[in-house]
Every structure is written in structure tokens, then in C-alpha cells.
Structure 1
Amino acid sequence: MPATFETPKKKKNSPRPTVWSEFSALAAETGAINLGQGFPNWEPPQFVTDAGIAAITSGHNQYTRTAGHPRLVELLAGRYTKHFGREVDPYAEVAITIGASQALYVTMQVLLSPGDEVILLEPFFDLYVGQIEMAGGTPVYVPLATEGQRWRLDAAALRAAITPRTRAIILNSPHNPTGKVFTRDEMLAVADAIRAHPRAMVISDEVYKYMVYGDDNGDSGGGAGGGGGGALSPSRHVHFATLPGMWDRTVTISSAGKTFSVTGWQVGWALGPRWFIRDVHAALPYMQFCAATPMQEAMATALERADQPYRGHASYYDWLRTQYAQRCAALAAALDAAGIPTMRGEGGFFLIGDVSRVRVSAAYLRAGTPAMPRMTRDWAFCRWLALEHGVIAIPTAPFFRREEEGEGGEGEGEGNPLRGRFVRFCFCKTDETLAAAAAALAEMSRKTAAEEAQ
């Protein structure tokens, strides 16, 4: 008789389906207009694909240096030397990873020990929680405050959350999922909060730094880390590591996938003080031998080319900001017209809509799913929107602490009162896709108004 294979017992905290698996399946099942996951639905610029082809056909197909392809780390060190206003050593202060997600993962593994706490500004990118817990750490939540259509840092709440166990604060600017860009004053408040806590670091997640819109975001421009546009300097983005005394307290994480519409290339990086990057370099060989050599070579070429004039703009980055600002405004107008008021989008490629006043069928509100057994209003709205109106969006419940967690991330608690109120819409889509979504949202609004009038 053939041997019977016995599956291992499930771990205590076996992973369940996620928001991404559920709504990706819904998108495939329904063929709905997808404003869900954050990846562009167009091809990258020609100069980027040309760089990829050239890298493959010119012999860059074998292993390269584990800590990063020499040409790419040297190029990044030169660019960040200008961004930071200090010399960056390409071989001691830069590490190349398989996307920003791996940069975050290896940072957590190197930085955290069991019992360490990591502060998350809520709502937060859901990936952070799992990576913190896999490294033995504990997430601690500090809610962002809301003022009208804006999000703001609650500096007093942040200071109160820091303890001797605090090992890191994750600062994501521009912020996923809210689209908030933290002002220089807010970043200075974060820096002031950790000065009295020598163990605390800041993990600065900057993957959307070339996507900052508008002209009135406080004082986020200027200074060593802000810049006023131009080819090298991301307009009005503040690099946290440039703040006084923060170079040795900051790990800067970024990538190229969002900027160049090549999310599948998976080229990311981490920069920081050499004492930290040394340990990252030591850990990387246990995760992979290297990020893909041709993609690293191609990205070095693309980064150089992007500083040059592009389609009537001073650089590719300036063109990119213009494109996304227009798409952000178009989607905001469509949502507002459909009765879904939006929080102000300042950067990145997401908008948050308030769906608390949109009528959703009670059947959706009652029906739990494997990914959300205890149904929330935002999740029910997104299922209703997909199945009844043909548009995919993402509920923000996964970006808030779980209901069973208290303020510090442990024990019973009601969670954040904003959980269940907001939905995330993605505007890194073609004009045709956004126009189709606007029409579907308008029809949704018309139908719900008619039903309420009956």
C-alpha cells in the first residue's frame, strides 16, 4: 500500500485568508473595475523596458554581490548623498533587497528581539504587523487624528506610547493607506519624541516619495530633506534621516517598483548607519543569494535616465507627479459626486473614502467571510460594491488594530472608532479605467438614491 502522508498539525496562529486573497478572487470572479491593489495597469516607460532588455542582452545574468550590484549601490549612494547632505558609503551603508517588503522584513529581523515594541501610526500598511510579530516584536498602535479632510500626527499620543521597550517607530510618508504626507514639523515631533529613548529607531518607509501633490502641505518642503523639485530631489518630500541627529537613528527604505511601474521587478533597498547595515548584509545571504542581477543593472540605467527631460517636463519624476495628481483629482471628484466624501490625498496613489452614509444591503452586513468572519461595514460595502456595482475597492479594517486588541496591542479593547468607516481606492490606473469607475459609481449613487426614495 502506498504510504499515507500525514499533514503537520496547524500552528496556533495559522494564517487565514487575507483581504488581498479575498478581493483578488472577487476581481477575477466578477471582472469588476479594479481600484483595489496598488499596482499600475499600464506598461512602464519605454526607457525602463529598454534598460531591462539591454541588461539581459549585455551579460548581466549571473549572481552579483549579495548586498547589492556594485553599479546600483554606487548610484544610490551618490543620489542619497545629495538627498541627505552627507556622504553615503555605497558598500557599508546601502543594501539591495528583493523589493521594499524584504527590506522591511530583514530590518525587523535584525532590529527586533522578543518583547521589543514597534509603534505603528494607525491606520497602517497591514504587512507591518505580520513582520513585527514574525521577528518576535509587539505592535503598539498610535491612531492618527482627523481634522476635516486631513489626517495629522497626534504627537502627545506618540510620546505617551513610547516606553523603554520601544525599539522602532515605522514612519511611512507618503502614507499607505491614507495618502497623507507628514510635514516637516510632524517629523520633527517624532524626532523629539525618541531623543530621550536611545534604543528607539525610526524605520522610514519612503516608497512613494516621488508622488507628492499639492502646494499647501504645511512646511514639508525646503530644508535639507525637502527640496523644491528638480531632477534629483523629490519635490517636498522630507527624508527623516536628514533631521538633526537622526542619521544614526533611521533606517530608510525605498524601492523602484512604484516609481517606474515595474512592481514585478522587485528591486528595493535599505540605507542607514553602517553599524546597522553591517548586520543586514550579514543576514541577507540566509534569505537569497542576490536580488535579480539584470533588474538591478536595469534600474541603475533607469534611475540615471529619469533625471533627464521627459515628455515636456524637466524630468520623468515631474511628469509622474503631474500624472498622478490629475488622476487623484479625477477619482476624488467621482467619489464625492457618488456620495463618498474623500480624505485629502497628498501623496502616493490611494484615496480614502468615507462610506459610512452609503446604504448597504443588510445581507452583506450579516455575512461573514473566511477573511473577515466578524463582518465590518467597510468590508461589507466593498463586497456589495464589487458584486452589485462592478468596482473593486479595499476595506481599511485590516489597516487598523484588531477589535480584540486594546490600545497597546494586547488584551480586550474596542479598537479604533474609525475602523469600518473608510474604504481605500487606488488611482494608479489608466484614464479609461478611472472613467469607467466614475460611471459605475455614478450609477451606484443613482440606484441607491432611487431605492431610498421608494
Structure 2
Amino acid sequence: MIVSSKLPGVGTTIFTVMSALAQEHGAINLAQGFPDFASSQRLSELVAHYMRQGYNQYAPMAGLPLLRQRIAEKIDGLYGVKIDPDQEITITAGATQGIFTAIGALVNPGDEVIIFEPAYDSYRPSIELFGGITKSFELNAPDYSIDWNQLRRLISMKTRMIIINTPQNPTGKIFKPADMQALEKLVGGTDIILLSDEVYEHLVYDGHEHESILRYPGLRNQAVAVYSFGKTFHTTGWKVGYCIAPPNLTAEFRKVHQFNVFSVNTPVQYGLADFLEDPHEYLGLGTFFTHKRDIFLDAIEGSRFRPLLSEGSYFQLCDYSEISTEPDVDFCRRLTQDYGVAAIPLSVFYHSKRDDKIIRFCFAKKEETLELAGKRLREI
């Protein structure tokens, strides 16, 4: 049977490939972005409690009302913004499902969507699946800053959406207030929708604050903001996140959401609602991951890897140009096979061909994992 693929250029993701290679060779997996340490025992007990109590059937389509109320309280406490939990918050099966649903609901065939590359790998396929046209704005090492005047040239009458990601995967770059103000000037008075991927909102370092799009009234009313409990509470396998958008955008979002997943894991939602009562469970994450970042940086000091600045997320980019002239995909394979540490090549986050000699490590790992990885990297 002949099948006409809607995504003919898409194969198995590099994250799956590198994790499988790491397992095959017994390598330390600093490639895929997930922790190797336990999540909160209390959170697990809360979820188990609700499972035992029989909260195992469908949740409401938009999400458990109590959880949405807790999220609204969290947003108010963090950003000083009043969000209507009934009309502006939807619980999703992870942040990627939220991103996919937002694009599916709001991008029509022929619409242009601007993304910043290197970019999280789900953006472009989701846009193309719904008939949109991806317009890439490439960020360049080592600072990955945005020239907003240059970006303006990509805006056209067909521009429907701009996707931003702060803190950014894979670079660890964060938006500063000046970036958000420039974005306001760029889209003010237009019908351009902003999709703001903020899954690492609590992982911001060195005295900076997370510049959520929700802080900016001039942006908030034309934006969908996406968050992840998996990234926040070290439970990536639970696949629970949420989206915040003004009522008109939420209404369109839910039209697609209800025919996509309909509703999300019920006992996990109850457990999260209780867990969110204590803000300390997420307010200390910046300090927690700063420590892990610094452990990794200390561990690779003296190696020939040159770390780039990571302002947020749990990723660290490193330049390996003093070690090898190999393309980054080949270098990452050899790094995994010969030296026992798996990383992700940066070039896979670009649509165009790149050869920057930069790779991405994940430092959301136990201290002993990071120290052993550093020992191996220093020996190269």
C-alpha cells in the first residue's frame, strides 16, 4: 500500500537515537532531558492516595477545577497576574501536547509561523502538519541574542504566529525585559498570535528573573503560554502540563484539545492540586539547578570542552572545536561509544545545515552522575 506521508522528512528523533546508543554502550546519558533522581515522595504519595480512593475516571475536559484554581494562584503569586481558571487555563497531556494543540487550533494552511533556531524539535513538524509555513530566524553562538530589527524583516501579511521559548532549549538563553519590550513593539496592533514555551520557568540563574509573557499586558492578550509539571517536579513521564490563554484563544484551543486527548490523568491532577498548596516546592528550583549546573561546570574544568553561558533550563552547551573537527553528529556518536558520555548535537535543532562544533549536555542529574561524566570528559 502506498502511503503519502504528511511528514516525509521526519524520522526517529535524535533524542531516542542517542538514548538508545547510550544504553547500548553503557554510557552516561546526558543527552535526553530528564532527571536521573527521584521526584518528591510526598507528591507520589498524594497521587497514590487518590488512585486508591478511586479517582481513576475521566477528569473534566479542561482539567480539574481545583488544579486550575491552584495554577491561577501560582501565577498571581509569581507574576502578579489575575487569571480566570475557568476560561483561561487548560490542563494538557504534557507541554508538547499543548504546543501541538495550540498550533492545530490557531494556524491555518498557508499561515506563516516564525520560530527561533536552534529550536525545540516539535515546533516545525507541528506547523507543517497543519499546513503552516515555518519561517526560521537563526540565532548565532556564542550569545544567541536576537536582533529585533532584523527579525522585523520576517514579518509579512501572512505571519500568523511567533513561537518563543524562554528559558530556551537547547541554548539556555533567557529573554530579558528588553526582549519582551521589543516583542511588544513588534506585534502591537497586529493579529499575530504568540506561543510562549515556558516549561523551564523556574530554572533561571545568576540573579535573573523569568520574563513570562504573562507579565506583559501588551502581549498577554494575544498569547498562549505553555508550562510543564514534568519539568517542574521531575516527573517527565507523567506527561502533565497546562496552557494559559485569554478566553477567545482558550475557546479555540479547547475545540482541538477535546478531540485530541479530551482529558488528562485524573489522580495525578488531584495530587498536583494538593502539592501546589506549598509554593516552596517550586520556588527553590532555581537554586537547586544552579547547584547542579555549577557541579557540572566544575567537573569539566580542565577539559578541552569550552562551556557557553547557560542562563536557564537544565542544559549546558559546550564547544568541542579544540578536540575534533568532526561534524557534531559524528562526534556525539563517538563520544558515546568511545568515552561513555552521551550528548545531543546542536545541529539537529536547526533546519539548515550547521557545523558550529557545539553539543548539548543535560545537567538534571545526580551529583555523582555529573562528576563521573566530568571525569570521562576531562580524559578526552
TM more than 0.5: yes
Query: Is 1:19 the counterpart of 2:14 in the alignment?
Result: yes
Structure 1, residues 157-185: CA drift from partner, whole Å, max 9, x if none? 21111111111111111110001111011
> How far is the alpha carbon of 1:83 from its aligned partner?
3.9
Supply the distance in 2 between the matched residues of 1:332 and 1:160 (Cα, whole angstroms): 38
Give the corresponding residue for 1:290. 263
State which structure, 1 or 2, has the greater radius of gyration over its C-alpha atoms.
1
Structure 1, residues 180-200: CA drift from partner, whole Å, max 9, x if none? 11101111111111125x121
Q: Please, which of 153, 157, 170 is the counterpart of residue 150 of structure 2?
A: 157
Of 386-395 and 69-78, more deviation after overlay is shown by 69-78
* Distance 1:157-1:341 versus aligned 2 partners, 3 A rule: same
SS, match of residue 269 in structure 1? strand
* Distance 1:438-1:211 versus aligned 2 partners, 3 A rule: same
Q: Please, which of 187, 190, 193 is the counterpart of residue 183 of structure 2?
A: 190
SS, match of residue 337 in structure 1? coil
SS, match of residue 17 in structure 2? helix
Count of paired positions:
379
TM-score by length of 1: 0.80
TM-score by length of 2: 0.95
Give the corresponding residue for 2:99. 104
Give the corresponding residue for 2:88. 93
* Distance 1:57-1:12 versus aligned 2 partners, 3 A rule: closer
> How far is the alpha carbon of 1:17 from its aligned partner?
2.8
Question: Given that residues 336 and 342 in structure 1 are in contact (C-alpha distance below 8 angstroms), is that contact kept between their aligned partners in structure 2?
Answer: no
Question: Given that residues 301 and 378 in structure 2 are in contact (C-alpha distance below 8 angstroms), is that contact kept between their aligned partners in structure 1?
Answer: no
> How far is the alpha carbon of 1:86 from its aligned partner?
3.9
Supply the distance in 1 between the matched residues of 2:358 and 2:82 (Cα, whole angstroms): 42
| 1:15-164 equivalent positions in 2, closer than 5 A | 15-146=10-141, 149-164=142-157
SS, match of residue 401 in structure 1? coil
Give the corresponding residue for 1:371. none
Give the corresponding residue for 1:426. 362
Supply the distance in 2 between the matched residues of 1:322 and 1:432 (Cα, whole angstroms): 18
Question: Given that residues 37 and 426 in structure 1 are in contact (C-alpha distance below 8 angstroms), is that contact kept between their aligned partners in structure 2?
Answer: yes
Q: Please, which of 317, 326, 350 is the counterpart of residue 352 of structure 1?
A: 317
* Distance 1:86-1:441 versus aligned 2 partners, 3 A rule: closer
> How far is the alpha carbon of 1:318 from its aligned partner?
4.1
What are the ranges of 5 or more consecutive residues in structure 1 without an aligned counterpart?
1-6, 218-235, 308-314, 366-376, 404-417, 445-454
> How far is the alpha carbon of 1:319 from its aligned partner?
3.4
Supply the distance in 2 between the matched residues of 1:189 and 1:47 (Cα, whole angstroms): 42
What are the ranges of 5 or more consecutive residues in structure 2 without an aligned counterpart?
none
In the alignment, residue 254 of structure 1 is paired with which amino acid? Answer: Y
Give the corresponding residue for 1:237. 210
Supply the distance in 2 between the matched residues of 1:419 and 1:202 (Cα, whole angstroms): 30
Give the RMSD, CA atoms, in angstroms: 1.7
Supply the distance in 2 between the matched residues of 1:237 and 1:156 (Cα, whole angstroms): 23
> How far is the alpha carbon of 1:254 from its aligned partner?
0.3
Give the corresponding residue for 2:195. 203
| 1:399-438 equivalent positions in 2, closer than 5 A | 399-403=349-353, 419-438=355-374
Give the corresponding residue for 1:385. 335
Question: Given that residues 241 and 249 in structure 1 are in contact (C-alpha distance below 8 angstroms), is that contact kept between their aligned partners in structure 2?
Answer: no
SS, match of residue 95 in structure 1? strand
SS, match of residue 3 in structure 2? coil
Supply the distance in 2 between the matched residues of 1:88 and 1:272 (Cα, whole angstroms): 9
Higher relative contact order (CA 8 A, sep 6+): 2
Of 422-431 and 183-192, more deviation after overlay is shown by 183-192
In the alignment, residue 174 of structure 2 is paired with which amino acid? Answer: V
Supply the distance in 1 between the matched residues of 2:192 and 2:302 (Cα, whole angstroms): 44
Supply the distance in 2 between the matched residues of 1:319 and 1:245 (Cα, whole angstroms): 29
Question: Given that residues 395 and 420 in structure 1 are in contact (C-alpha distance below 8 angstroms), is that contact kept between their aligned partners in structure 2?
Answer: no
> How far is the alpha carbon of 1:45 from its aligned partner?
1.4
In the alignment, residue 440 of structure 1 is paired with which amino acid? Answer: R
SS, match of residue 285 in structure 1? helix
> How far is the alpha carbon of 1:430 from its aligned partner?
0.4
Query: Is 1:277 the counterpart of 2:272 in the alignment?
Result: no
